[in-house]
Amino acid sequence: MTLPEIDLLTSQVSRIFRVEDITVGNPKEWIARYRGHLLTEDTVAAYDQLAEALRPYNITPLFRREQDDKQVIFLVPSPSIPQSSSRLYINILLFILTVFSVMLTGVDAPRELCGNPGQQLAYMARHIFTGWPFALSMMGILFAHEMGHYLMCRYYKVPATLPFFIPAPLLSPLGTLGAFIAMRGIPKNKRVLFDVGVAGPLAGLIIAIPVVFIGLSLSQTGPVLPSECGGFIEGNSVFYLFAKYLVFGKLLPQPATLGGLSPALYWLQYFFTGMPIPLNGVDVFIHPVALAGWAGLLVTALNLVPVGTLDGGHVAYGLFGEKARKIFPIAISALIALSILPSVLTLSFGAFHFSWLLWVFILFWLGNVRTQPLDDITSLDGKRRALGFFVLLVFFLLFTPIPMVGY
């Protein structure tokens, strides 16, 4: 780029920025870098003004902050806006397949068939439509979550795909591995990234919380008895434990004996290890609708883990900026500890929880990266910061240290 063109761009930058030095770069990467300070505290308006002025030149400004608190503006070639795919049939097909997969999972097969997987599967296939209460509840929660993200992207004009649902018949206890949308554009600033991040979990919870209470009201309590077919007890989060207390008037599962422990110590141990299994005690035999609600709470908590490009990672980055990267090793260490803690306390390798190691693998695969907005200087306003800390509180209330306990 020639000097007169640089001068022209600099004149536009100088309208909102006190320029202290300029560096001309490689036009394929960045055209120019300006160090200094914005002339106004209204960083949103400053970015909008400069972005609009540079639009005719097909140039996009990037607002950044250096470690010495210097503000920096990079001018880069405007990224090409990806064309929206017209393959809507893929989204529809995956949605339909996931509905049938979840319905299949929601079928309550007779326990006498547990020793014959072939007959059990055949029974579930014949009675697949009886799984509609579980499917309607589960898909409703997932759909609300993903549409929360999608509609917020549409509101801020961030290109994004419609939700892709992932069917997983017989591979997942829920019949699905969840759903996702893909942002094809870069959010303008941290506020947009934050709003897109929180919209999904909050929308999902609006459906999941009533589903939990409706499902629990349809459930019954009974003894937890040893069985040749085995079984599982869904894990407790603080919120789910409280919900069962509101519906049934007692903490569940209720053990036959505390094993010589005080009630507080027993519940602390059980909450974080799932041990000892409360055989011959009392628990709630949850209705499929309650199972879907419980799963919705669990999925929301997993998405709110405050690392990387997860929803919780967007929230943490909005609140703490680059300091949010320090959460990653803490989260990994905590999940590894939850994997081995039951084995350590019970001196039994059978109590090892591999599910959290799988989640550790997923987090490493996603990486300790983040979605960096175009304007990385604009911070969250007061209302968003308050909402962000509330969402982190929700994460701790919904997090289930031991998702499932088999017996």
For 164-193, write each residue's pLDDT tens digit: 999 998 778 899 999 999 888 899 999 999
For residue 375, the SS3 value is: strand
Report, in angstroms and rounded to the nearest whole number, the Rg of the chain calculated over CA atoms: 26
Q: Is the previous residue joined to 167 through a cis bond, with omega within 30 degrees of 0?
A: no
Please report, to the nearest 10 degrees, the dihedral formed by the alpha carbons of residues 59, 61, 66, 71 taken in order: 130
Task: Please check the confidence at residue 23 and state whether its pLDDT lies above 80.
Answer: yes
Q: Which residue has tokens 């505390």?
A: 258
Query: At what angle are helices 382-398 and 288-303 packed, to 10 degrees?
Result: 130
| pLDDT tens sequence across 316-372 | 999 999 899 999 999 999 999 888 877 776 666 555 677 788 888 888 887 777 789
Q: What's the confidence (pLDDT) of residue 392?
A: 96
Q: In this model, does residue 1 exceed pLDDT 70?
A: no
Evaluate the omega torsion of the peptide bond into residue 173 and state whether it is cis, within 30 degrees of 0: no
Is residue 70 predicted with pLDDT exceeding 50? yes
Residue with tokens 């972005």: 51
Answer with the residue of higher pLDDT: 199 or 115.
199
pLDDT at 345: 66
Nearest Cα neighbor of 264 from 272, 110, 132 is 272
CB 246 within 8 A of CB 209: no
Amino acid of residue 43 = T
pLDDT of residue 4: 45
Question: Per the structure block, which two tokens stand in for 254?
Answer: 């209720």
pLDDT recorded at residue 351 = 57
Point out the least confidently predicted range of 187-191, 252-256, 365-369, 397-401.
365-369
Q: Using 50, 70 and 90 to split pLDDT, how confident is the model at 35?
A: very high
The model's confidence at residue 297, banded by pLDDT at 50, 70 and 90, is very high
CB-based contacts of 55, cutoff 8 Å, min separation 6: 78
- Written as six digits, the tokens of 22 are 């300029």
By the 8 A CB rule, do 177 and 204 touch?
A: no
Q: Does residue 352 contact residue 343 with C-beta atoms inside 8 Å? A: yes
Q: What is the pLDDT at residue 52?
A: 95
- Topology of 3-77 in CATH? Hypothetical Protein Ta0175; Chain: A, domain 2 (3.90.1070)
Give me the pLDDT at residue 342, please. Answer: 73
Structure tokens at 95: 């949605």
Find the mean pLDDT for residues 369-385. 92
Is pLDDT of 2 > 50? no
pLDDT at residue 159, rounded to an integer? 92
Whether residue 142 contacts residue 303, with contact meaning beta carbons closer than 8 Å, is answered with no
The DSSP bridge pattern shows strands 176-180 and 71-77 to be: unpaired
396-402 average pLDDT score:
94
Q: Which band of pLDDT confidence, cut at 50, 70 and 90, is reported for residue 267?
A: confident
Q: Hey, where are the domains in the chain?
A: 3-77, 229-407
pLDDT at 206 over 80: yes
